[in-house]
A and B are shown apart, each in its own frame.
Chain A
Amino acid sequence: MALAGVFAAGTILLSAFIYWETVGYLTRRVDSELQDHAQAIAGVSSAARIERVQRYLETDVRLLKIAGLFDASGQPLAGNLRGVPPGLPVVGRAGDVEISDIDGDRIERQSIRVLAVQMPDGNLLVLGRSVRAVEEISEIVTRALLLALVPTILLGLIAGVVLSRGAVSRIAAVHRTSRLIMAGQLGERLPTRGRNDDFDKLARIVNEMLDEIERLMAQAKGAGEDIAHDLRTPLTRLRGRIERTLSVTAPESDLAGSLEAAIGDIDQILGTITAILRIAEVEHGQRRAGFRDVDLADVIREAADLYEPVAEAKGVTLTVGTGHPATTRGDGDLLFEAVANLLDNAIKFTPAGSDVEVMLRHESEGPSIRVSDEGPGIPAADFPRVLRRFQRGDRSRRTPGTGLGLSLVASIARLHGFGLVVRDHQKGFSIELHCWAHDRVSDEDDDAAMFRPRRR
């Protein structure tokens, strides 16, 4: 659209330029012609001048000329003018005059280029020439302009559409790829078309940058996993040694007690390390190959079945609402683990005597699993951090666990391309697993969208 505008404006400007140049040229030519004639007429005697004026008019076959010779009182001596035309330009210089008052109506009222010159004998010579040609040219140029403008604008529109369609589709491709990359598929690269145009150059620069980022990420990730593995080995040995010492220690002694406590500590460290490695494993994304149809109602029932006695033991009422089945594509074991983690979390944080509810909801986009509790909730500002590794809101200070449960749920959601939404409501806190395709699950930029605190 803008392109068509630019095209049209260019055409108009070009036409105007041609018009002004042509008109200027023609006017200058008429002016110098008038000057020549005036000089020739001024150069003869007063008597001969009358005859030269008549001859000037007689050679005018196309009836384009006017001429008049006036004495000092303004009386016409010769020519086709009945009087000195009003609005005559400064003597000696040509100008445009409207003349209607012409002898014998030879010339229609029209715009005429007129030159007035003082003769040596005091008489005034007025010579003029119709500039109809100039007007005709202006008409021709205007017509040509109009004729040219329509195809120009059309051409501009078409070119604009074609160019912008190309650009839009490439931007869309870049957008799609970027979202995949942001969703964790670091191996993706921006598409190039091998044309070496600006777009390709830019894409190549970004791709080189991505290569480097991927390399560094792999390095950092590898380092993290290596550290986890390296920690695991000595801890496992230490645990083994303590366990074996414990087995030969009198069960009533203080030593047995402290050894058991030491094993408990080590188990907690090992649990954290295992959880980190497990999140890494889920995030590798290899498990997508094993996706099959999973009934979320089954998943919820089984997870609730596992946790119902835990809730009962704590005096928490666990309500399960599954409705009709909802099938989704995914890893049933991981989805079970995700729901189990959400329930574990909810039961842990809700006070005794309150309710935890797990519901399968059928929303327009697809099925969603909502686990809500009546716990203290977490400040809305903490939502994004809650799902990140190692973050446990204030509410969890004194509760056992690695603090990685929700991170694991987020990883499982990310693997499936599902969304995870945290809500704070009057009675407590709820987490929803939206089981339909999302571009991203949790990323710094999208925190506001994904973790929008919504009060009900």
Chain B
Amino acid sequence: MAKVLVIEDDAETADQIVAELTRHGLAVDQESAGLAGLERARTGNYDVITLDRLLPELDGLTIVERLRQAHVKTPVLMLSALGEVEDRVRGLRAGGDDYLTKPFAFAELSARVDALLRRSPETRATVLRVGDLEVDLLAREAHRGARLLDLQPRELRLLEHLMRHHGQVVTRAMLFEQVWHYHFDPRTNVIDVHIGRLRRKVDLPGEAPLIHTVRGVGFVLRAPA
């Protein structure tokens, strides 16, 4: 069972995070102060740490910096209620692996923790395969079975991202950040429209669907069972 450390000083928020992650089958420990949190993070051999940006004693940025100095490479998800833009850059620069601005949906949190848990070294493979879907990264081509998919460059990148994280729920915000590289809240249903368009090309009627919508959370690309 994967071990997660939650360093969060607001008791209710902490309880909710712990409950949410536990529900997803993770073993969760919690600390509410900076120094104790740092100590536990250093020694506890966790798989993922969620770290509040503002903490008593020691703030989140310092904790992640100290961890990296101590060569603790545990992925860190920074949580912050501060202005997102400046702070995100600083959080990631200090050694955080992902950044989530409060308020967030717990589904968003668990999707990101999940992504950090499953993070594997970027594959060197030039061909990605999920079921009968195949993307050739060199030729910039995608096939479903024998059928060549007519994809625009952006659609190909979106598909590539979903395939690299196949079986894993990705949220709209994660897609917007990781495929488009922008960090604001895209209004309306922009991402859904892009996914919808991709899905119409990937999953033809009669074929076993690969791209699924996870209600209230995001999307997942999964090989048919």
Interface residues of A (CB under 8 A from B): 229, 232-233, 235-237, 239-241, 243-244, 246-247, 260, 263, 267, 270-271, 274, 277-278, 280-281, 284, 286-287, 302, 305-307, 309-310, 312-313, 333, 336-337, 340-341, 344, 348, 400-401, 405
Which residues of B sit under 8 angstroms from A348, Cβ to Cβ?
Answer: 188
Work out how many contacts link A and B, with CB atoms closer than 8 A.
89
Stretch from B69-77, B78-86, B116-124 at the A interface: B78-86
Which residues of B sit under 8 angstroms from A278, Cβ to Cβ?
Answer: 83-84, 184
Of the residues A240, A267, A333, A336, contact of B85 by C-beta under 8 Å: A333
Assess whether B154 is in contact with A401, with CB atoms less than 8 Å apart.
Answer: no
Given contacts A239-B105, A309-B194, A344-B188, contact A277 B83 (CB under 8 A): yes
Assess whether B184 is in contact with A306, with CB atoms less than 8 Å apart.
Answer: no
Q: How far is the CA of A302 from the CA of B182 in the complex (A)?
A: 11
User: Which residue of B has the minimal Cβ distance to A401?
Assistant: B187
How distant is B57 from chain A, measured CB to nearest CB, in Å? 21
The answer to whether the Cβ of B178 comes within 8 Å of any Cβ in the partner chain is no
Assess whether A287 is in contact with B86, with CB atoms less than 8 Å apart.
Answer: yes
Assess whether B84 is in contact with A236, with CB atoms less than 8 Å apart.
Answer: no
Interface residues of B (CB under 8 A from A): 10, 12-13, 16, 19-20, 23, 81, 83-86, 101-107, 154, 180, 182-190, 193-194, 196-197, 216
Which residues of A sit under 8 angstroms from B103, Cβ to Cβ?
Answer: 232, 235-236, 239, 270, 274
Which residues of A sit under 8 angstroms from B190, Cβ to Cβ?
Answer: 306-307, 309-310, 344
How distant is A215 from chain B, measured CB to nearest CB, in Å? 22
30 contacts between A and B (CB under 8 A): A233-B10, A235-B103, A237-B16, A240-B106, A241-B16, A243-B106, A243-B107, A244-B20, A244-B23, A246-B216, A260-B216, A278-B83, A280-B83, A281-B83, A281-B86, A287-B85, A302-B180, A305-B154, A306-B180, A309-B194, A309-B196, A310-B189, A310-B193, A312-B197, A313-B193, A313-B196, A333-B85, A336-B182, A341-B187, A405-B187
Assess whether B81 is in contact with A232, with CB atoms less than 8 Å apart.
Answer: yes
Assess whether A229 is in contact with B81, with CB atoms less than 8 Å apart.
Answer: yes
Assess whether A232 is in contact with B193, with CB atoms less than 8 Å apart.
Answer: no
How distant is A249 from chain B, measured CB to nearest CB, in Å? 12
A interface: dominant SS: helix
Assess whether A240 is in contact with B16, with CB atoms less than 8 Å apart.
Answer: yes
Q: How far is the CA of A246 from the CA of B83 in the complex (A)?
A: 29
Which residues of B sit under 8 angstroms from A277, Cβ to Cβ?
Answer: 83
Assess whether B183 is in contact with A236, with CB atoms less than 8 Å apart.
Answer: no
How distant is A230 from chain B, measured CB to nearest CB, in Å? 11
Q: How far is the CA of A309 from the CA of B105 in the complex (A)?
A: 26
Count chain A CB atoms within 10 A of each CB in B10, B23, B102 and give the residue with the most. B102
User: Which residue of A has the minimal Cβ distance to B20?
Assistant: A244
Assess whether B185 is in contact with A274, with CB atoms less than 8 Å apart.
Answer: yes
User: Which residue of A has the minimal Cβ distance to B194?
Assistant: A309
Q: How far is the CA of A305 from the CA of B102 in the complex (A)?
A: 29
How distant is A119 from chain B, measured CB to nearest CB, in Å? 114
Of the residues B13, B183, B189, B216, contact of A237 by C-beta under 8 Å: B13
Given contacts A236-B102, A281-B85, contact A244 B16 (CB under 8 A): yes
User: Which residue of B has the minimal Cβ distance to A277?
Assistant: B83
**Given A239-B103, A243-B106, A271-B185, 20 extra CB contacts under 8 A:** A232-B103, A236-B13, A236-B102, A260-B216, A267-B105, A274-B101, A281-B83, A281-B84, A306-B180, A309-B193, A309-B194, A309-B197, A310-B190, A310-B193, A313-B193, A313-B196, A333-B182, A333-B183, A344-B187, A344-B188
Q: How far is the CA of A278 from the CA of B81 in the complex (A)?
A: 12
Which residues of A sit under 8 angstroms from B189, Cβ to Cβ?
Answer: 310
Assess whether A237 is in contact with B193, with CB atoms less than 8 Å apart.
Answer: no
